[in-house]
A and B are shown apart, each in its own frame.
Chain A
Amino acid sequence: MTLDRQPILEQLLGPEAGPDDDALAALCRQIDVKKTLDGGPADAAVVAAQLLRRAATPDAPDHPNAPDHPNAPEPFGLKCLNSALKALDLHDADSEHIPALRAWALELLDALAAPGESPEGTP
């Protein structure tokens, strides 16, 4: 995570650790299936920030969902990133932080899903 995201995260999320993976998965499902967020525009930025923070934090290597190749992107992180982009689309331009969050999402996507880093030789 680059340092300039930190003030936005602190402003949006505060000092708490944030939801666990099960809660984030439920948020992803809500965004994908219901295509809305309970709290409207402000909630979109908060939820996107939570999801992006998770996307920027790879699974521990012994986590059951961790990729089986060191160059493979972390699946749950990509899922969160995907839902964060959708959350930002739900309430576009209704929050001052949305452009910065979207830019962060694209940076993360570049880092997580860089072409040419496909794992070779995995089962």
Chain B
Amino acid sequence: MTSNLPLTVLVHDGPQARAYLVRMEREGLRPERIVVMVADPFTAKAKRPAGLKNVGLLRWAERVQDKTNNHHPYAIRRDHPLLVRAIADAMEPVVPDPMAFYAEMFSHFHYERFADTVIRLPANGYKDPGLVPALTALGVGTVLFTGGGIIPKPVFAIPGISLIHVHTGFLPHVRGADVLLWSLLTRGRPGVAAFFMTPGLDDGDVLATKELAPLAVELPPGPRPDDDTLYRALFSFIDPLIRADLLVGDVLTNASAVSSLAGTPQDLNTGVTFHFMHATVKARALRLLYTAPAKSAHTDEVEITTVGKRGSPPPARYQRYYAKPSVVAPLKLMIDALRANSSLRATSIHNRQNDYNALGRHPERRALHRALNAQLALQTEQWPTYDYGEGWFYQSSDELGITGLRNTTGRVQAFGLADLVRGRTVFEIGCNTGFLSLAIASSADRVVAFELNPYLIAIAEAGKEFLGRTNVAFTVAAFEDMPEGEHYDDVLSFANHHTYDGNTRQSLSDYFERCHAFTKPGGRLIFESHPPELEGTEFHRTLDLIERYYTIERSEVHRYGTFLDQGRRFIVATRR
């Protein structure tokens, strides 16, 4: 049920405003109106009034503003997806499913989704002379401030206006700048407060304030991101969610609450007004917030090098070619393919060359391919086992323009997977880069997929976002560690019943017993074998175990796709 709030959200576009609106929408709250301030690229730097009288110019300026104000979250999501996931894990107590929350904030975001009335106002900040007349004409009452500068006194003088601000410090103890980091340093935990703004600094009557549980983000294995990146990630993915949580959970709970907001005066003799942190102090605070990975043998000294394992061409070497079109790259790839010391590597490099050439026809995929290659580069250096770290894709995705060693489209078509899972819940074991899950998600009701290798899951998440698939959830986990509880219509076991990467810690019998435990009564196991030469003469034992828990309905071998696709047995079996 939706509740309409007597509230104007005055938007300075950025993570803070977006987090407020996404959180409001999640709670079924819609503000009366959104006023988006749009800076004029022609006059903003000179601090002159905004022009932008033409609607087309205004739209263009809004796009420029989006790229400028959200540059850091966009870049961090692209270049550091594992960092974002680590932050999301730490933010779970603040907001459910933070990864989905970030996607709502930074993928295809449109203000029209959050309010019936959206007004775009040309304004170079709060001092723009057009702002006060425009807000006065609108007759705004309660206004939510979303950051972006200091409010000048004339705005406070607008008749009937009251401005609400959410500040990431526990009032009255922590005021000023960098307060989230100061809170971590001086109080050991984040704090947050909502208050009525005044021309003073964080001294208005308090609407709500609280301290949260201590917060620590366990960084993913690999090189520690630099402090600038970690600081920007704080303001992109942590700070906005903490503010939104208090705002929506404790202040804007419903329409009548907004109509009768009343603050409590602060004790202005208590507390400290902090200034921006010196780099040395900031580094110390960031060390408290972002902790080293607990379970990894990797250290801060690990860096992506340009030398791959076993002489394979390392994806790090190619990363620069994805920043912008390169005429050198295809030539380089062709030479590397010719020099490759195995046909598998030659094929992989050749696939990469074809995919790279296709970016000329699909420039919208360039940033995605850059992000995916960055993950391949990282896992080449960081992931200790098996060959997914050698810099190529195992799975293909036609939708993403990725050619791997397995033909996903052929796999889906040969097995009739789209029809098999139509409208059903699916659980995929060991999903690799998730391209198969993404391919069947368009017909399935919901897909839950997991994979031990976090770099592959980072690739899966990037693909999911690019395609806008909302009914797929990816998780980093071993099958042995997946909590039982939910049951699925179809459990997909595609060449995962035993692996030769040394990562499996359960017997074949245990494996199928767990498959059975995740299958609904009447549900199915959809199974694909390894190639015949890997299954060997013991495959009958695998079939016996399947039949212990399931009744085999279909068992067939298909001829399609690459040499790695050929000869595998495909089985559909119903749970006993």
Q: Is the pair A64, B269 in contact by a Cβ cutoff of 8 Å?
A: yes
User: Roughly how many angstroms separate A105 CA and B279 CA in the complex, as a whole number?
Assistant: 13
B284: contacting residue among A72, A89, A113, CB under 8 A: A113
- List residues of chain A with CB within 8 A of the CB of B184: 118
Which residue of chain B is the closest to A64 with respect to CB atoms? Answer: B270
Chain B proximity mask over A93-123: 1 for CB below 8 Å, otherwise 0: 0000000000001100100010100111011
A122: contacting residue among B211, B272, B287, CB under 8 A: B211
Q: Which of B186-194, B533-541, B568-576 contacts A (4 or more CB under 8 A)?
A: B186-194
B280: contacting residue among A31, A67, A73, A85, CB under 8 A: A85
Interface size on A, residues (CB 8 A): 33
Q: Is the pair B173, A75 in contact by a Cβ cutoff of 8 Å?
A: yes
How many Å from the CB of B489 to the closest CB on chain A?
A: 45
Chain B proximity mask over A78-96: 1 for CB below 8 Å, otherwise 0: 1101110110010000000
With A65-B270, A69-B188, A73-B185 already in contact, the answer to whether A82 and B211 are too (CB < 8 A) is: no
- Residue B214 is within 8 A (CB to CB) of chain A in the complex: yes
User: Roughly how many angstroms separate A79 CA and B189 CA in the complex, as a whole number?
Assistant: 17
- Residue A44 is within 8 A (CB to CB) of chain B in the complex: no
- Residue B119 is within 8 A (CB to CB) of chain A in the complex: no
How many Å from the CB of A64 to the closest CB on chain B?
A: 5
- List residues of chain B with CB within 8 A of the CB of A65: 173, 270-272
With A118-B214, A119-B188 already in contact, the answer to whether A76 and B272 are too (CB < 8 A) is: yes
Interface size on B, residues (CB 8 A): 28
- List residues of chain A with CB within 8 A of the CB of B214: 118, 120
The A interface is mostly helix, strand or loop, or mixed, namely helix
- List residues of chain A with CB within 8 A of the CB of B274: 75, 79, 82
- List residues of chain A with CB within 8 A of the CB of B211: 122-123
With A85-B278, A113-B284 already in contact, the answer to whether A75 and B188 are too (CB < 8 A) is: no
With A65-B272, A115-B288 already in contact, the answer to whether A86 and B188 are too (CB < 8 A) is: no
Which residue of chain A is the closest to B276 with respect to CB atoms? Answer: A32
Which residue of chain B is the closest to A67 with respect to CB atoms? Answer: B186
- List residues of chain B with CB within 8 A of the CB of A32: 275-276
- Residue B107 is within 8 A (CB to CB) of chain A in the complex: no
Q: Is the pair B280, A106 in contact by a Cβ cutoff of 8 Å?
A: yes
- Residue A5 is within 8 A (CB to CB) of chain B in the complex: no
A72: contacting residue among B187, B267, B270, B278, CB under 8 A: B187
Q: Is the pair A122, B285 in contact by a Cβ cutoff of 8 Å?
A: no
A85: contacting residue among B187, B267, B281, CB under 8 A: B281
- List residues of chain B with CB within 8 A of the CB of A28: 275
Q: Which of A25, A72, A118 has the most CB of B within 10 A?
A: A118
Which residue of chain A is the closest to B172 with respect to CB atoms? Answer: A64
User: Roughly how many angstroms separate A13 CA and B280 CA in the complex, as a whole number?
Assistant: 25
7 closest A-B pairs by beta carbon, nearest first, are A118-B188, A32-B275, A85-B278, A75-B272, A119-B188, A75-B186, A64-B270
Query: Which residues of B approach A to under 8 Å, CB–CB?
Result: 173-174, 182, 184-189, 211, 214, 267, 269-278, 280-281, 284-285, 287-288
Supply 13 A–B pairs (Cβ within 8 Å), ascending by A: A25-B273, A32-B276, A64-B271, A69-B188, A72-B186, A72-B187, A75-B174, A78-B182, A81-B281, A82-B275, A82-B278, A89-B278, A113-B185
**11 other contacts beyond A67-B187, A115-B284, A119-B187, with CB at 8 A cut-off?**
A64-B267, A65-B173, A69-B188, A78-B185, A79-B272, A79-B274, A79-B275, A85-B280, A86-B278, A113-B281, A113-B285
Query: Which residues of A approach B to under 8 Å, CB–CB?
Result: 25, 28-29, 31-33, 64-65, 67, 69, 72-76, 78-79, 81-83, 85-86, 89, 105-106, 109, 113, 115, 118-120, 122-123
